[in-house]
Amino acid sequence: MKSTIKKTGIPKQIISDHGSDVKSGIEQFCKAFPGTTFVYDITHKAATLLKRELDADERWKCFIANAASTRKKVQQTTLAAIAPPNQRSKARY
């Protein structure tokens, strides 16, 4: 850490998804360097809000199921180039 700070200086801001794997380390860094702020990544924040909103919606569940089904049906056809993207269990919003 010290060698990196020598090269680049102390960061003004650290942007993160607040994942448990990095949150503690970033908080410790900000405590050691009070001029550095810890900011929640807007993409992850928006995904969290959307997930909370859409998870209980039956229409959303139906849409996801149809997208996955369509992808399987067209993957070996001339429509493969416009198939829906693979669905992931995280950050699909």
pLDDT in tens, 65-74: 898 899 889 9
Coil, strand or helix at 57:
coil
Half-sphere exposure of 2 (CA within 13 A, CB side): 0
Half-sphere exposure of 33 (CA within 13 A, CB side): 16
pLDDT in tens, 19-45: 888 999 999 999 999 999 999 999 888
User: Rounded to two decimals, what is the model's pTM?
Assistant: 0.56
Strand partners, 70: none
Residue spans of the domains in the chain: they are 1-55, 57-87
